[in-house]
Structure 1
Amino acid sequence: MTSIRHARRWATAVTAAAVLWSTGTAYADDVPGGTTKPPADKPSGGSANQNIYASATHSQIKVRQIKGPTSGKRGSLAPVDSNWKPPACWYEPVFTAEGLKEFVDKEDGNGDVGVHESWYGKRLWTDHYDDGKPETNFDDTQSTAPGYKNYNIGKKGYFWRSVAPDDTDPASWDCGRIMFWQDDNTVPKIPHAPTTKTLAEYAYDKVKIPDTKIELKPQGKSTVNLPTWVWLDKGTFQDVTVRAELPNTGLWAETTAKPVALHLEPGTDDAETYPASGDCTFKDDGSIGTPYKTGDADKTPPCGITYLRATSGEPYRLKASVTWQITWKGSGGTGGNNLPNGTFETTQDMNVQEIQSVNR
């Protein structure tokens, strides 16, 4: 999909608006790389009309955390695959037949029929959804959307519409159908229809992980050529599970993040990590490493660092990142481990002193 094609679509929308000025205006968003700007008076919506005005960024998906800590400092996971991102757009049910008619009558037909297309004027809505007039989809082929009679009132089902968490993402243009009807208890068999994996990916983006705080001995200041022990007590980190459900579809998914490894980066090349890779794995009880005990100063820790050069004025910046393994399960017996693992990183200062000796 090129910006030239997008600009042509914009020109088509403007021409249609000129013809339909007395009855309504069809407005199509411009796209990244285009040369035209959308009208300044395009409604931005509000809580009262959230379902229709905010279609581009507000999903009907319900999300809740069902396992793991919910308090304290937390943050989002960074996927280890930097190319991965949650789905850019999909379709979901938003109106019953009666609900759409009520909206059109109440709001005088001002709102969104898709991620990048808005209709302003009641006549546009009644022509297509009440009187059966065909309309053009805002997709690659500009396919024809058949019209409806009396909003399909009396039928069981929902009108579905596209949604995109970030409507500036070029990939959000892939969901170009205008709002369409789907019978009850069915999911449309079209590209970008929601699946349990869609919900699992959506839930992944909502997972909040507790801050990474590691125990050190000695704390705050290490000594050159003497190991600094690193450990995490059992229970410090727990699995986190987020559930996502899409109402009126029967679709749900639960995404679970499980801590599996701690990676240490000393903040200088003049250091050795234990193990050499810097990766300390979680034990079965959820702990990492071994707590330091008196008399362990000259021993090699299972998880730790030895600094080979003292700091001079500026401390080293020790990075500690926990890797979280991601799995998911969903309705219909679906699930898997085909989502990328994630990491969460914190940094703390490390001062390193020279060994002090006394000559007699």
Structure 2
Amino acid sequence: MGAAAVLWTGGTAHANGPADNTTPPPASGNADSNGDLSAAVSRIKVTQVSGPTGGKTGSISSTDVNWEPPPCWYEPVYTPEQLKAFSEGNNPLGYVSPHEMWGGQKLWTDHYRDSKVAYNYEDNALVSRGGYDNYNIGKKGYFWRGVARDPSDPDSFGCERVMFWQNAGEIPDVPNAPTPKTLAEYAYDKVKVPGTEIELKPATKSTVNAPTWVWLDKGTFREIKVRAELPNTGLWAETTAKPVALHLNPGTEYAQAIPASGNCEINEDGSIGTPYQRGDSDRTPPCGIRYLKATDGTPYRLSASVTWQITWQGANGTGGDLPDGTFETTQDMNVQEIQSINR
């Protein structure tokens, strides 16, 4: 074979022209994740600015089932000097879009050094892109490339433009160019919240018709702020998750949540409900459950989910709201058929 191969996850093609140097986009693809310059992975820097650290944590789920973080966007990847060093290295193999790899020097030097046209499928159409003279060395800027959050997502094929040049200090005027909101939504996916380990009284076994008190001490749940920055762009965003409510699901139809909605509001001091005190056995808790039927050897699965209100602010005075998120944990509840309370 006289020319190096263009490597697709769904096929192999060659480098002599539009008829034989491309293949249609594959149904899915797998991007490298080794983090080097040749891998189609994001360079967004994520930092937790505030909130609890350590202990058991998990990712929130959007309450809007139709909402997802952006499937793809573009990022600056190479300076001219970096691209020259990579392209003229030993058998360079790397991504020029989220789903297409070029292997061997010739493809890289043809397009980025010797000004030859490159071809790729964009929006299911074969598109040609003009080449560059000597990697644009001497100019200030970066070569930008598409990045996919999940390469197997069909929507991730919206950033297939072959890696292209953008002057320093400029954001490309292309579909799916990054914005502060892009980074805010990316950070949403990185928010880690603490597990919902609620306090119960009685702690080990509830009693039929007697209320089980549920509470969370103040400070257990605090705002969590995550910052996402895209290097060499001036773009940043901070996504804040604020706990606003605890929802209880008793795990059986033979129970009553307190309040009836199952939603226990978070108090101003960050606590939820009220801790049980000696002598409270005849009172109704502000947050709790009343089981109406004993378990028969198989415990009920009590679930507790915290709703997190999500907001963001970013570069250039931008900001807004994102869909609320939830995080749920479950625990076993045994219920006995006696008319006394374990104080």
TM over 0.5, shorter chain:
yes
Residue 326 in 1 paired to residue 321 in 2? no
Residue 169 in 1 paired to residue 153 in 2? yes
CA contact (8 A) 2:13 2:22 kept: no
Which residue of the partner structure matches residue 237 of structure 2? 253
CA contact (8 A) 1:109 1:124 kept: no
Q: Structure 2 matches for 1:269-284, cutoff 5 A?
A: 269-284=253-268
4+ runs deviating over 6 angstroms: none
Which residue of the partner structure matches residue 105 of structure 1? 88
Q: 1:243 to 1:344 in 2, by over 3 A?
A: same
Which residue of the partner structure matches residue 131 of structure 1? 114
Which residue of the partner structure matches residue 75 of structure 1? 58
CA deviation after TM superposition for structure 1 residue 27, in Å: 6.4
Match of 2:37 among 44, 51, 57: 51
CA deviation after TM superposition for structure 1 residue 293, in Å: 1.5
CA deviation after TM superposition for structure 1 residue 126, in Å: 1.5
CA deviation after TM superposition for structure 1 residue 165, in Å: 2.4
Unaligned runs of 5+ in 2: 1-7
Which residue of the partner structure matches residue 231 of structure 1? 215
CA deviation after TM superposition for structure 1 residue 26, in Å: 5.2
How many angstroms apart in 1 are the aligned matches of 2:329 and 2:56?
12
Q: Structure 2 matches for 1:147-296, cutoff 5 A?
A: 147-296=131-280
Aligned-partner residue type, residue 220 of structure 1: T
SS at match of 1:159: strand
More helix by share: 1
CA contact (8 A) 2:117 2:129 kept: yes
Q: 1:32 to 1:213 in 2, by over 3 A?
A: same
SS at match of 2:166: strand
Aligned-partner residue type, residue 95 of structure 1: Y
CA deviation after TM superposition for structure 1 residue 294, in Å: 1.7
Q: 1:64 to 1:220 in 2, by over 3 A?
A: same
Q: 1:195 to 1:229 in 2, by over 3 A?
A: same
SS at match of 2:26: coil
Aligned residues: 329
Residue 31 in 1 paired to residue 26 in 2? yes
How many angstroms apart in 1 are the aligned matches of 2:99 and 2:119?
13
| 1:286-325 Cα deviation digits (max 9, x unpaired) | 1111111122112111111111111111111111111111
How many angstroms apart in 1 are the aligned matches of 2:242 and 2:304?
17
How many angstroms apart in 2 are the aligned matches of 1:64 and 1:15?
40
CA deviation after TM superposition for structure 1 residue 147, in Å: 1.2
CA contact (8 A) 1:28 1:116 kept: no
Q: 1:127 to 1:65 in 2, by over 3 A?
A: same
SS at match of 2:332: strand
Aligned-partner residue type, residue 119 of structure 2: T
Q: 1:133 to 1:30 in 2, by over 3 A?
A: closer
How many angstroms apart in 2 are the aligned matches of 1:44 and 1:210?
30
How many angstroms apart in 1 are the aligned matches of 2:105 and 2:267?
63
- Aligned-residue sequence identity (percent) comes to 62
| 1:39-58 Cα deviation digits (max 9, x unpaired) | xxx996856xx221x21xx1
SS at match of 1:162: strand
Residue 350 in 1 paired to residue 336 in 2? no
CA contact (8 A) 2:304 2:330 kept: yes
Aligned-partner residue type, residue 287 of structure 2: C
Q: State the TM-score, normalizing by the size of structure 2.
A: 0.90
Which residue of the partner structure matches residue 317 of structure 1? 301
Which residue of the partner structure matches residue 94 of structure 1? 77
How many angstroms apart in 1 are the aligned matches of 2:90 and 2:184?
34
Unaligned runs of 5+ in 1: 1-9
How many angstroms apart in 1 are the aligned matches of 2:74 and 2:244?
35
SS at match of 1:102: helix
More strand by share: 2
